Structure 1
Amino acid sequence: MIKTSVEAIIFDWAGTTVDFGSRAPMGAFVKLFQSEGIEMTIPQARIPMGINKWDHINALLSLSEIQSQWFKMHGKSHTDADVDRLLDIFVPMNKVSIRECGQLIPGVAELSKTLRERHIKIGSTTGYTKELLDILLPIAKEQGYEADALSYSGDTQLGRPSAQMMHKCAVQLGLDNPLAFIKVDDTEPGIQEGKAFGCWTVGVAVSGNALGLSFEELNAMPDGEANRLKNSARLKMQEMHPDYVIDSVADLLPIIDEINTRLDLGEKPNSYNN
Protein backbone atom coordinates (compact mmCIF):
# COMPACT_ATOMS: atom_id res chain seq x y z
CA MET A 1 0.00 0.00 0.00
CA ILE A 2 1.34 3.43 -0.96
CA LYS A 3 1.87 5.61 2.08
CA THR A 4 -0.06 8.89 2.12
CA SER A 5 1.24 12.03 3.79
CA VAL A 6 0.45 15.72 3.70
CA GLU A 7 1.62 17.12 0.36
CA ALA A 8 -0.20 20.46 0.13
CA ILE A 9 -1.70 23.15 2.33
CA ILE A 10 -4.37 25.38 0.79
CA PHE A 11 -4.60 28.64 2.70
CA ASP A 12 -7.11 31.46 2.72
CA TRP A 13 -5.77 35.02 2.65
CA ALA A 14 -7.34 37.72 4.87
CA GLY A 15 -7.38 36.56 8.48
CA THR A 16 -5.39 33.41 7.73
CA THR A 17 -2.08 34.40 6.11
CA VAL A 18 -2.35 38.21 5.94
CA ASP A 19 -4.33 40.95 7.66
CA PHE A 20 -4.62 39.84 11.31
CA GLY A 21 -8.28 40.28 12.22
CA SER A 22 -9.43 40.23 8.57
CA ARG A 23 -9.99 43.99 8.64
CA ALA A 24 -9.40 44.97 5.00
CA PRO A 25 -12.68 43.63 3.58
CA MET A 26 -14.71 44.76 6.60
CA GLY A 27 -13.58 48.37 6.53
CA ALA A 28 -14.28 48.56 2.81
CA PHE A 29 -17.78 47.09 3.17
CA VAL A 30 -18.71 49.54 5.92
CA LYS A 31 -17.39 52.50 3.89
CA LEU A 32 -19.24 51.24 0.82
CA PHE A 33 -22.60 51.21 2.56
CA GLN A 34 -21.92 54.50 4.32
CA SER A 35 -21.35 56.04 0.89
CA GLU A 36 -24.89 54.90 0.06
CA GLY A 37 -26.30 56.48 3.22
CA ILE A 38 -26.75 53.12 4.94
CA GLU A 39 -25.50 52.42 8.44
CA MET A 40 -23.76 49.08 8.87
CA THR A 41 -21.70 47.69 11.72
CA ILE A 42 -18.50 45.66 11.44
CA PRO A 43 -20.22 42.57 12.96
CA GLN A 44 -22.94 42.83 10.31
CA ALA A 45 -20.34 43.16 7.57
CA ARG A 46 -18.63 39.99 8.81
CA ILE A 47 -21.73 37.77 8.64
CA PRO A 48 -21.25 36.48 5.05
CA MET A 49 -17.43 36.50 5.25
CA GLY A 50 -15.64 33.93 3.10
CA ILE A 51 -17.83 33.99 -0.02
CA ASN A 52 -17.03 35.98 -3.16
CA LYS A 53 -17.48 39.73 -3.00
CA TRP A 54 -20.52 39.99 -5.30
CA ASP A 55 -22.37 37.41 -3.22
CA HIS A 56 -21.15 39.10 -0.03
CA ILE A 57 -22.65 42.45 -1.06
CA ASN A 58 -25.87 40.72 -2.12
CA ALA A 59 -26.05 38.91 1.23
CA LEU A 60 -25.51 42.17 3.14
CA LEU A 61 -28.28 43.86 1.15
CA SER A 62 -30.53 40.94 2.10
CA LEU A 63 -30.00 41.38 5.85
CA SER A 64 -33.28 42.66 7.32
CA GLU A 65 -31.61 45.67 9.00
CA ILE A 66 -29.93 46.70 5.74
CA GLN A 67 -32.85 45.77 3.51
CA SER A 68 -35.20 48.04 5.44
CA GLN A 69 -32.81 50.99 5.08
CA TRP A 70 -32.41 50.33 1.36
CA PHE A 71 -36.18 50.09 0.83
CA LYS A 72 -36.75 53.31 2.74
CA MET A 73 -34.26 55.13 0.49
CA HIS A 74 -35.16 53.57 -2.87
CA GLY A 75 -38.76 52.45 -2.44
CA LYS A 76 -37.95 48.96 -3.70
CA SER A 77 -35.71 45.99 -3.00
CA HIS A 78 -32.22 45.85 -4.48
CA THR A 79 -31.53 44.23 -7.85
CA ASP A 80 -28.54 42.44 -9.38
CA ALA A 81 -27.74 45.70 -11.17
CA ASP A 82 -27.49 47.41 -7.78
CA VAL A 83 -25.04 44.75 -6.61
CA ASP A 84 -23.00 45.18 -9.80
CA ARG A 85 -22.83 48.94 -9.22
CA LEU A 86 -21.86 48.57 -5.57
CA LEU A 87 -19.16 46.04 -6.46
CA ASP A 88 -17.65 48.55 -8.90
CA ILE A 89 -17.47 51.07 -6.04
CA PHE A 90 -16.23 48.48 -3.54
CA VAL A 91 -13.21 47.21 -5.48
CA PRO A 92 -11.22 50.50 -5.42
CA MET A 93 -12.05 50.89 -1.71
CA ASN A 94 -10.84 47.37 -1.00
CA LYS A 95 -7.64 47.98 -2.97
CA VAL A 96 -6.80 50.77 -0.55
CA SER A 97 -7.61 48.68 2.52
CA ILE A 98 -5.62 45.72 1.20
CA ARG A 99 -2.55 47.92 0.95
CA GLU A 100 -3.18 49.21 4.47
CA CYS A 101 -3.75 45.73 5.97
CA GLY A 102 -1.41 43.58 3.88
CA GLN A 103 1.00 42.61 6.66
CA LEU A 104 1.67 38.89 7.06
CA ILE A 105 0.21 37.34 10.19
CA PRO A 106 3.04 36.50 12.62
CA GLY A 107 4.51 33.09 11.86
CA VAL A 108 3.44 32.89 8.20
CA ALA A 109 6.86 33.58 6.66
CA GLU A 110 8.54 31.09 9.00
CA LEU A 111 5.87 28.45 8.31
CA SER A 112 6.20 28.98 4.57
CA LYS A 113 9.96 28.41 4.77
CA THR A 114 9.49 25.20 6.76
CA LEU A 115 6.85 23.90 4.34
CA ARG A 116 9.27 24.47 1.46
CA GLU A 117 11.95 22.56 3.35
CA ARG A 118 9.52 19.68 3.84
CA HIS A 119 8.54 19.79 0.13
CA ILE A 120 4.92 20.58 1.04
CA LYS A 121 3.25 22.69 -1.63
CA ILE A 122 1.31 25.87 -0.88
CA GLY A 123 -1.95 26.83 -2.54
CA SER A 124 -4.59 29.45 -1.90
CA THR A 125 -8.28 30.03 -2.44
CA THR A 126 -9.96 33.33 -1.72
CA GLY A 127 -13.10 35.40 -2.01
CA TYR A 128 -10.95 38.18 -3.47
CA THR A 129 -11.19 38.81 -7.20
CA LYS A 130 -8.10 38.57 -9.41
CA GLU A 131 -7.96 42.36 -9.52
CA LEU A 132 -7.73 42.49 -5.72
CA LEU A 133 -5.40 39.51 -5.47
CA ASP A 134 -3.02 41.17 -7.94
CA ILE A 135 -2.60 43.95 -5.35
CA LEU A 136 -1.97 41.52 -2.51
CA LEU A 137 0.39 39.00 -4.11
CA PRO A 138 3.48 41.23 -4.45
CA ILE A 139 2.91 42.65 -0.95
CA ALA A 140 2.93 39.13 0.51
CA LYS A 141 5.88 38.01 -1.62
CA GLU A 142 7.99 40.91 -0.43
CA GLN A 143 7.41 39.72 3.15
CA GLY A 144 8.33 36.10 2.42
CA TYR A 145 5.07 34.37 1.49
CA GLU A 146 4.14 33.05 -1.94
CA ALA A 147 1.68 30.41 -3.15
CA ASP A 148 2.37 27.73 -5.77
CA ALA A 149 -1.27 27.63 -6.88
CA LEU A 150 -4.04 30.23 -6.82
CA SER A 151 -7.78 30.26 -7.32
CA TYR A 152 -9.94 33.30 -6.71
CA SER A 153 -13.46 34.70 -7.00
CA GLY A 154 -14.64 34.39 -10.60
CA ASP A 155 -11.96 31.82 -11.45
CA THR A 156 -14.49 28.97 -11.23
CA GLN A 157 -18.19 28.72 -11.97
CA LEU A 158 -18.97 28.26 -8.29
CA GLY A 159 -17.12 29.79 -5.37
CA ARG A 160 -17.16 28.74 -1.75
CA PRO A 161 -18.53 26.62 -0.19
CA SER A 162 -18.17 24.45 -3.31
CA ALA A 163 -14.90 22.59 -3.85
CA GLN A 164 -14.27 23.98 -7.34
CA MET A 165 -11.43 26.31 -6.31
CA MET A 166 -9.83 23.48 -4.34
CA HIS A 167 -9.98 21.22 -7.39
CA LYS A 168 -8.44 23.98 -9.51
CA CYS A 169 -5.53 24.31 -7.06
CA ALA A 170 -5.09 20.53 -7.02
CA VAL A 171 -4.77 20.47 -10.81
CA GLN A 172 -2.22 23.30 -10.72
CA LEU A 173 -0.21 21.44 -8.09
CA GLY A 174 -0.41 18.11 -9.93
CA LEU A 175 -1.98 16.36 -6.92
CA ASP A 176 -5.27 14.48 -6.79
CA ASN A 177 -5.61 12.78 -3.40
CA PRO A 178 -7.74 14.87 -1.00
CA LEU A 179 -6.21 13.00 1.94
CA ALA A 180 -2.88 14.69 1.17
CA PHE A 181 -4.42 18.18 1.46
CA ILE A 182 -5.13 20.46 4.39
CA LYS A 183 -7.46 23.45 3.99
CA VAL A 184 -6.72 26.27 6.43
CA ASP A 185 -9.32 29.04 6.74
CA ASP A 186 -10.89 31.48 9.19
CA THR A 187 -14.45 31.40 7.79
CA GLU A 188 -17.24 28.84 7.59
CA PRO A 189 -17.53 28.93 3.77
CA GLY A 190 -13.77 28.25 3.61
CA ILE A 191 -14.03 25.31 6.01
CA GLN A 192 -17.01 23.94 4.08
CA GLU A 193 -14.97 24.31 0.88
CA GLY A 194 -12.33 22.00 2.32
CA LYS A 195 -14.94 19.53 3.52
CA ALA A 196 -16.57 19.48 0.07
CA PHE A 197 -13.16 18.59 -1.38
CA GLY A 198 -12.82 15.79 1.18
CA CYS A 199 -9.58 16.97 2.79
CA TRP A 200 -8.44 17.79 6.31
CA THR A 201 -9.71 21.14 7.56
CA VAL A 202 -8.12 23.51 10.09
CA GLY A 203 -10.02 26.50 11.42
CA VAL A 204 -8.07 29.60 12.42
CA ALA A 205 -9.76 31.25 15.41
CA VAL A 206 -7.76 34.14 16.84
CA SER A 207 -6.08 35.76 13.83
CA GLY A 208 -9.18 35.88 11.69
CA ASN A 209 -12.83 36.69 11.28
CA ALA A 210 -14.03 34.90 14.42
CA LEU A 211 -12.22 37.40 16.66
CA GLY A 212 -11.87 40.34 14.28
CA LEU A 213 -9.26 42.38 16.14
CA SER A 214 -5.89 43.56 14.89
CA PHE A 215 -2.74 42.10 16.45
CA GLU A 216 -2.09 45.43 18.17
CA GLU A 217 -5.66 45.74 19.49
CA LEU A 218 -5.56 42.24 20.92
CA ASN A 219 -2.18 42.70 22.60
CA ALA A 220 -3.27 46.01 24.14
CA MET A 221 -6.12 44.32 26.02
CA PRO A 222 -5.93 43.16 29.63
CA ASP A 223 -5.09 39.45 29.75
CA GLY A 224 -8.46 38.47 31.17
CA GLU A 225 -10.46 40.20 28.43
CA ALA A 226 -8.13 38.96 25.69
CA ASN A 227 -8.44 35.37 26.91
CA ARG A 228 -12.23 35.65 27.08
CA LEU A 229 -12.37 36.85 23.47
CA LYS A 230 -9.92 34.19 22.30
CA ASN A 231 -11.98 31.44 23.92
CA SER A 232 -15.14 32.82 22.34
CA ALA A 233 -13.46 32.81 18.92
CA ARG A 234 -12.28 29.22 19.42
CA LEU A 235 -15.83 28.16 20.23
CA LYS A 236 -17.11 29.89 17.08
CA MET A 237 -14.60 27.96 14.99
CA GLN A 238 -15.39 24.66 16.72
CA GLU A 239 -19.04 25.15 15.81
CA MET A 240 -17.96 24.99 12.16
CA HIS A 241 -16.67 21.44 12.84
CA PRO A 242 -13.23 21.54 11.20
CA ASP A 243 -10.91 18.65 11.99
CA TYR A 244 -8.74 21.00 14.07
CA VAL A 245 -8.92 24.52 15.51
CA ILE A 246 -5.79 26.61 16.00
CA ASP A 247 -5.24 30.22 17.03
CA SER A 248 -3.15 31.13 13.98
CA VAL A 249 -1.03 29.50 11.28
CA ALA A 250 1.93 29.76 13.66
CA ASP A 251 0.37 26.72 15.38
CA LEU A 252 0.02 24.59 12.23
CA LEU A 253 3.20 22.47 12.19
CA PRO A 254 2.17 20.15 15.07
CA ILE A 255 -1.17 19.63 13.32
CA ILE A 256 0.60 18.54 10.13
CA ASP A 257 2.62 16.04 12.15
CA GLU A 258 -0.51 14.71 13.85
CA ILE A 259 -2.33 14.35 10.54
CA ASN A 260 0.62 12.43 9.10
CA THR A 261 0.49 10.11 12.11
CA ARG A 262 -3.23 9.58 11.60
CA LEU A 263 -2.69 8.91 7.90
CA ASP A 264 -0.15 6.23 8.82
CA LEU A 265 -2.89 4.65 10.95
CA GLY A 266 -5.30 4.73 8.02
CA GLU A 267 -7.49 7.46 9.48
CA LYS A 268 -9.38 9.95 7.36
CA PRO A 269 -10.85 13.44 7.93
CA ASN A 270 -14.50 13.62 8.94
CA SER A 271 -15.40 15.01 5.54
CA TYR A 272 -13.65 12.40 3.40
CA ASN A 273 -16.13 11.35 0.74
CA ASN A 274 -14.29 9.10 -1.71
Structure 2
Amino acid sequence: MSDPFTHLQAVVFDWAGTIVDFGSRAPMGAFVEAYARLGVAISIAEARKPMGLPKRAHIAALMADPAIAERWRVARGHLPGEADIDEVYRVFVPLNEAVVTDYADLIPGAVATVRQCRARGLKIGSTTGYVRSIMERLVPVAAAAGYVPENLVCAGDLAGGRPGPLMMYRTFADLGVYPPAAVVKVDDTEPGILEGKAAGTWTVGLAVSGNMVGLSRAEWEALPEAEQQVLRAAAIEKHKAIGADYVIDSVADLMPVLDAIEARLAKGEKPA
Protein backbone atom coordinates (compact mmCIF):
# COMPACT_ATOMS: atom_id res chain seq x y z
CA MET A 1 0.00 0.00 0.00
CA SER A 2 1.36 3.43 -0.97
CA ASP A 3 2.22 5.97 1.69
CA PRO A 4 -0.81 8.31 1.97
CA PHE A 5 1.53 11.16 2.84
CA THR A 6 3.49 10.91 -0.43
CA HIS A 7 0.80 9.99 -2.97
CA LEU A 8 -2.50 11.47 -4.04
CA GLN A 9 -5.64 9.65 -2.97
CA ALA A 10 -8.53 11.68 -4.35
CA VAL A 11 -9.67 14.49 -6.62
CA VAL A 12 -12.71 16.54 -5.59
CA PHE A 13 -14.54 18.31 -8.39
CA ASP A 14 -17.03 21.12 -8.36
CA TRP A 15 -20.01 20.70 -10.72
CA ALA A 16 -21.19 23.69 -12.80
CA GLY A 17 -18.33 25.21 -14.79
CA THR A 18 -16.07 22.34 -13.81
CA ILE A 19 -17.67 19.05 -14.88
CA VAL A 20 -20.92 20.26 -16.47
CA ASP A 21 -22.28 23.50 -17.92
CA PHE A 22 -19.40 25.15 -19.80
CA GLY A 23 -19.49 28.79 -18.73
CA SER A 24 -21.52 28.05 -15.59
CA ARG A 25 -24.61 29.60 -17.13
CA ALA A 26 -27.53 27.74 -15.52
CA PRO A 27 -27.85 29.90 -12.37
CA MET A 28 -27.41 33.25 -14.08
CA GLY A 29 -30.78 33.66 -15.73
CA ALA A 30 -32.46 32.28 -12.62
CA PHE A 31 -30.88 34.98 -10.43
CA VAL A 32 -31.82 37.75 -12.86
CA GLU A 33 -35.38 36.43 -13.22
CA ALA A 34 -35.85 35.97 -9.45
CA TYR A 35 -34.96 39.60 -8.81
CA ALA A 36 -37.05 40.77 -11.78
CA ARG A 37 -40.12 39.01 -10.38
CA LEU A 38 -39.67 41.07 -7.25
CA GLY A 39 -39.31 44.31 -9.17
CA VAL A 40 -35.53 44.72 -9.02
CA ALA A 41 -33.15 44.63 -11.98
CA ILE A 42 -29.72 43.00 -11.75
CA SER A 43 -27.32 42.19 -14.55
CA ILE A 44 -25.70 38.88 -15.45
CA ALA A 45 -22.33 40.41 -14.54
CA GLU A 46 -23.62 41.35 -11.09
CA ALA A 47 -25.17 37.92 -10.61
CA ARG A 48 -21.84 36.23 -11.40
CA LYS A 49 -19.75 38.03 -8.78
CA PRO A 50 -20.46 35.71 -5.80
CA MET A 51 -20.59 32.49 -7.86
CA GLY A 52 -19.48 29.39 -6.01
CA LEU A 53 -21.14 30.34 -2.74
CA PRO A 54 -24.12 28.37 -1.47
CA LYS A 55 -27.09 29.91 -3.21
CA ARG A 56 -28.67 31.65 -0.18
CA ALA A 57 -25.25 33.08 0.71
CA HIS A 58 -24.91 34.12 -2.94
CA ILE A 59 -28.16 36.08 -2.67
CA ALA A 60 -27.00 37.61 0.62
CA ALA A 61 -23.80 38.75 -1.11
CA LEU A 62 -25.83 40.32 -3.91
CA MET A 63 -28.00 42.12 -1.36
CA ALA A 64 -24.85 43.49 0.28
CA ASP A 65 -23.85 45.17 -2.97
CA PRO A 66 -24.66 48.88 -2.40
CA ALA A 67 -26.02 49.37 -5.92
CA ILE A 68 -28.36 46.39 -5.71
CA ALA A 69 -29.40 47.32 -2.17
CA GLU A 70 -30.34 50.81 -3.36
CA ARG A 71 -32.36 49.41 -6.26
CA TRP A 72 -34.14 47.17 -3.78
CA ARG A 73 -34.88 50.15 -1.54
CA VAL A 74 -36.34 52.15 -4.41
CA ALA A 75 -38.46 49.24 -5.66
CA ARG A 76 -39.50 47.75 -2.32
CA GLY A 77 -39.45 50.69 0.06
CA HIS A 78 -36.69 49.47 2.37
CA LEU A 79 -33.12 48.24 2.33
CA PRO A 80 -32.88 44.45 2.06
CA GLY A 81 -32.78 42.31 5.19
CA GLU A 82 -32.84 38.62 6.07
CA ALA A 83 -36.53 38.22 5.18
CA ASP A 84 -35.83 39.69 1.75
CA ILE A 85 -32.94 37.30 1.18
CA ASP A 86 -35.29 34.44 2.03
CA GLU A 87 -37.91 35.82 -0.36
CA VAL A 88 -35.48 35.93 -3.29
CA TYR A 89 -34.21 32.46 -2.39
CA ARG A 90 -37.74 31.02 -2.42
CA VAL A 91 -38.26 32.42 -5.91
CA PHE A 92 -34.79 31.47 -7.16
CA VAL A 93 -34.63 27.77 -6.26
CA PRO A 94 -37.59 26.59 -8.40
CA LEU A 95 -36.31 28.69 -11.29
CA ASN A 96 -32.86 27.06 -11.08
CA GLU A 97 -34.41 23.62 -10.69
CA ALA A 98 -36.40 24.20 -13.87
CA VAL A 99 -33.39 25.09 -16.04
CA VAL A 100 -30.47 23.13 -14.58
CA THR A 101 -30.87 20.16 -16.91
CA ASP A 102 -30.85 22.52 -19.91
CA TYR A 103 -27.20 23.23 -19.04
CA ALA A 104 -26.16 19.72 -18.07
CA ASP A 105 -23.82 18.88 -20.94
CA LEU A 106 -20.52 17.51 -19.69
CA ILE A 107 -17.52 19.73 -20.33
CA PRO A 108 -15.28 18.22 -23.04
CA GLY A 109 -12.68 15.93 -21.53
CA ALA A 110 -14.47 15.53 -18.19
CA VAL A 111 -15.31 11.83 -18.52
CA ALA A 112 -11.89 10.95 -19.91
CA THR A 113 -10.15 12.84 -17.10
CA VAL A 114 -12.21 11.12 -14.42
CA ARG A 115 -11.52 7.75 -16.05
CA GLN A 116 -7.78 8.43 -16.01
CA CYS A 117 -7.94 9.53 -12.36
CA ARG A 118 -9.64 6.29 -11.40
CA ALA A 119 -7.11 4.28 -13.43
CA ARG A 120 -4.48 5.79 -11.10
CA GLY A 121 -6.43 4.57 -8.08
CA LEU A 122 -7.78 8.01 -7.18
CA LYS A 123 -11.20 8.43 -5.63
CA ILE A 124 -13.59 11.01 -7.07
CA GLY A 125 -15.46 13.36 -4.75
CA SER A 126 -17.72 16.31 -5.43
CA THR A 127 -18.99 19.44 -3.70
CA THR A 128 -21.32 22.09 -5.07
CA GLY A 129 -22.91 25.43 -4.31
CA TYR A 130 -26.22 23.96 -5.53
CA VAL A 131 -28.76 22.76 -2.98
CA ARG A 132 -29.77 19.10 -3.05
CA SER A 133 -33.13 19.67 -4.74
CA ILE A 134 -31.30 21.12 -7.75
CA MET A 135 -28.72 18.33 -7.76
CA GLU A 136 -31.45 15.68 -7.68
CA ARG A 137 -32.28 16.82 -11.21
CA LEU A 138 -28.71 17.21 -12.42
CA VAL A 139 -27.15 14.00 -11.05
CA PRO A 140 -29.16 11.52 -13.18
CA VAL A 141 -28.41 13.47 -16.36
CA ALA A 142 -24.68 13.51 -15.59
CA ALA A 143 -24.78 9.80 -14.72
CA ALA A 144 -26.42 8.97 -18.04
CA ALA A 145 -23.58 10.84 -19.76
CA GLY A 146 -20.95 8.87 -17.84
CA TYR A 147 -20.12 10.91 -14.74
CA VAL A 148 -20.80 9.36 -11.32
CA PRO A 149 -18.63 10.65 -8.46
CA GLU A 150 -18.31 8.63 -5.27
CA ASN A 151 -19.91 11.27 -3.09
CA LEU A 152 -21.88 14.50 -3.30
CA VAL A 153 -21.98 17.26 -0.70
CA CYS A 154 -24.43 20.07 -1.44
CA ALA A 155 -24.93 23.56 -0.11
CA GLY A 156 -27.24 23.26 2.86
CA ASP A 157 -26.16 19.75 3.83
CA LEU A 158 -23.96 21.07 6.65
CA ALA A 159 -23.97 23.95 9.10
CA GLY A 160 -21.54 25.89 6.91
CA GLY A 161 -20.52 25.83 3.27
CA ARG A 162 -18.03 27.53 1.01
CA PRO A 163 -15.62 29.21 1.40
CA GLY A 164 -15.24 27.25 4.65
CA PRO A 165 -13.91 23.68 4.71
CA LEU A 166 -16.84 21.68 6.10
CA MET A 167 -18.03 20.22 2.79
CA MET A 168 -14.48 19.09 2.08
CA TYR A 169 -14.23 17.54 5.54
CA ARG A 170 -17.41 15.57 4.81
CA THR A 171 -15.90 14.48 1.52
CA PHE A 172 -12.73 13.26 3.27
CA ALA A 173 -14.92 11.17 5.57
CA ASP A 174 -17.15 9.87 2.76
CA LEU A 175 -14.17 8.78 0.67
CA GLY A 176 -11.98 7.66 3.56
CA VAL A 177 -9.04 9.83 2.50
CA TYR A 178 -6.42 11.63 4.60
CA PRO A 179 -4.32 13.79 4.92
CA PRO A 180 -5.69 16.83 3.04
CA ALA A 181 -2.40 17.11 1.12
CA ALA A 182 -3.32 13.82 -0.55
CA VAL A 183 -6.39 15.49 -2.11
CA VAL A 184 -6.79 17.90 -5.03
CA LYS A 185 -9.74 20.33 -5.27
CA VAL A 186 -10.69 21.41 -8.80
CA ASP A 187 -13.02 24.41 -9.14
CA ASP A 188 -13.84 27.38 -11.37
CA THR A 189 -14.90 29.83 -8.62
CA GLU A 190 -13.23 31.84 -5.89
CA PRO A 191 -15.30 30.31 -3.04
CA GLY A 192 -14.60 26.82 -4.38
CA ILE A 193 -10.85 27.36 -4.48
CA LEU A 194 -10.92 28.93 -1.02
CA GLU A 195 -12.89 25.89 0.18
CA GLY A 196 -10.03 23.65 -0.87
CA LYS A 197 -7.42 25.93 0.64
CA ALA A 198 -9.33 26.12 3.93
CA ALA A 199 -9.37 22.32 4.04
CA GLY A 200 -5.63 22.06 3.30
CA THR A 201 -5.81 20.47 -0.16
CA TRP A 202 -4.04 21.25 -3.40
CA THR A 203 -6.19 23.58 -5.50
CA VAL A 204 -6.55 23.75 -9.27
CA GLY A 205 -8.44 26.71 -10.73
CA LEU A 206 -10.21 26.53 -14.07
CA ALA A 207 -9.72 29.65 -16.14
CA VAL A 208 -11.83 29.11 -19.26
CA SER A 209 -14.61 26.56 -18.72
CA GLY A 210 -16.31 28.24 -15.79
CA ASN A 211 -17.56 31.36 -14.13
CA MET A 212 -14.54 33.61 -14.54
CA VAL A 213 -15.00 33.79 -18.32
CA GLY A 214 -18.68 32.88 -18.28
CA LEU A 215 -19.10 32.06 -21.96
CA SER A 216 -20.64 28.97 -23.52
CA ARG A 217 -18.28 26.67 -25.37
CA ALA A 218 -19.58 27.95 -28.73
CA GLU A 219 -19.17 31.57 -27.65
CA TRP A 220 -15.63 30.91 -26.44
CA GLU A 221 -14.59 29.08 -29.60
CA ALA A 222 -16.02 31.88 -31.76
CA LEU A 223 -13.74 34.49 -30.19
CA PRO A 224 -10.53 35.55 -31.95
CA GLU A 225 -7.45 34.11 -30.26
CA ALA A 226 -6.35 37.53 -29.07
CA GLU A 227 -9.63 38.04 -27.21
CA GLN A 228 -9.39 34.56 -25.74
CA GLN A 229 -5.93 35.38 -24.44
CA VAL A 230 -7.16 38.54 -22.71
CA LEU A 231 -10.01 36.71 -20.97
CA ARG A 232 -7.81 33.74 -20.07
CA ALA A 233 -5.12 35.98 -18.58
CA ALA A 234 -7.66 37.86 -16.47
CA ALA A 235 -9.10 34.59 -15.12
CA ILE A 236 -5.63 33.19 -14.38
CA GLU A 237 -4.77 36.34 -12.46
CA LYS A 238 -7.95 36.04 -10.38
CA HIS A 239 -7.16 32.43 -9.49
CA LYS A 240 -3.55 33.26 -8.61
CA ALA A 241 -4.69 36.20 -6.47
CA ILE A 242 -6.66 33.83 -4.22
CA GLY A 243 -3.80 31.36 -4.02
CA ALA A 244 -4.70 28.55 -6.42
CA ASP A 245 -1.75 26.15 -6.66
CA TYR A 246 -2.31 25.62 -10.39
CA VAL A 247 -4.52 27.16 -13.08
CA ILE A 248 -5.61 25.35 -16.25
CA ASP A 249 -8.24 25.99 -18.93
CA SER A 250 -10.54 23.06 -18.08
CA VAL A 251 -10.61 19.58 -16.56
CA ALA A 252 -9.30 18.23 -19.85
CA ASP A 253 -5.90 19.66 -18.86
CA LEU A 254 -5.74 18.15 -15.37
CA MET A 255 -3.56 15.05 -15.73
CA PRO A 256 -0.16 16.81 -16.14
CA VAL A 257 -0.99 18.84 -13.01
CA LEU A 258 -1.58 15.63 -11.05
CA ASP A 259 1.83 14.39 -12.24
CA ALA A 260 3.41 17.62 -10.99
CA ILE A 261 1.67 17.36 -7.62
CA GLU A 262 2.77 13.73 -7.21
CA ALA A 263 6.35 14.79 -7.85
CA ARG A 264 6.10 17.55 -5.26
CA LEU A 265 4.57 15.19 -2.68
CA ALA A 266 7.44 12.76 -3.27
CA LYS A 267 9.83 15.58 -2.31
CA GLY A 268 7.89 16.31 0.86
CA GLU A 269 6.17 19.46 -0.39
CA LYS A 270 2.68 20.45 0.75
CA PRO A 271 0.00 22.76 -0.66
CA ALA A 272 0.52 26.50 -0.21
TM-score under structure 1 normalisation? 0.95
Structure 2 counterpart of 1:55, which letter?
A: A
Structure 1 counterpart of 2:178, which letter?
A: D
Structure 2 counterpart of 1:176, which letter?
A: Y
Structure 2 counterpart of 1:38, which letter?
A: V
What's 1:108 paired with?
Answer: 110
What's 1:127 paired with?
Answer: 129
What's 2:231 paired with?
Answer: 229
CA distance in 2, matches of 1:30, 1:187: 19
Match of residue 94, structure 1, among 93, 96, 105: 96
Give the 3-state SS of the residue equivalent to 2:105 in structure 1.
Answer: coil
Give the 3-state SS of the residue equivalent to 1:94 in structure 2.
Answer: helix
Give the 3-state SS of the residue equivalent to 2:197 in structure 1.
Answer: helix
What's 1:62 paired with?
Answer: 64
CA shift, 1:64, in A, is 1.1
What's 2:37 paired with?
Answer: 35
Alignment map for 1:244-263 (pairs within 5 Å): 244-263=246-265
Structure 2 counterpart of 1:172, which letter?
A: D
Structure 2 stretches lacking a partner, 5+ long: none
Structure 1 counterpart of 2:140, which letter?
A: P
Structure 2 counterpart of 1:186, which letter?
A: D
Aligned length: 270
CA distance in 2, matches of 1:222, 1:267: 39
CA distance in 2, matches of 1:76, 1:240: 35
Match of residue 185, structure 2, among 183, 186, 203: 183
Give the 3-state SS of the residue equivalent to 1:85 in structure 2.
Answer: helix
CA distance in 2, matches of 1:224, 1:242: 24
TM-score under structure 2 normalisation? 0.96
What's 2:53 paired with?
Answer: 51
What's 1:201 paired with?
Answer: 203
Q: Which runs of 4+ in 1 moved over 6 A?
A: none
1:12 maps onto 2:38 in alignment: no
CA shift, 1:96, in A, is 2.3
1:168 maps onto 2:170 in alignment: yes
CA shift, 1:212, in A, is 0.6
Contact preservation (8 Å) 1:210, 1:237: no
Structure 2 counterpart of 1:239, which letter?
A: A
Structure 2 counterpart of 1:98, which letter?
A: V
Give the 3-state SS of the residue equivalent to 2:164 in structure 1.
Answer: coil
Structure 1 counterpart of 2:39, which letter?
A: G
What's 1:144 paired with?
Answer: 146
Q: Deviations over 1:71-94 (max 9, x none)?
A: 112221222222222211111110
CA distance in 1, matches of 2:83, 2:41: 21
Structure 1 counterpart of 2:262, which letter?
A: N
Structure 1 counterpart of 2:121, which letter?
A: H
CA distance in 2, matches of 1:74, 1:215: 38
Identity of matched residues, %: 47
What's 1:26 paired with?
Answer: 28
Structure 1 counterpart of 2:198, which letter?
A: A
CA shift, 1:239, in A, is 1.6
Give the 3-state SS of the residue equivalent to 1:9 in structure 2.
Answer: strand
CA distance in 1, matches of 2:83, 2:239: 34
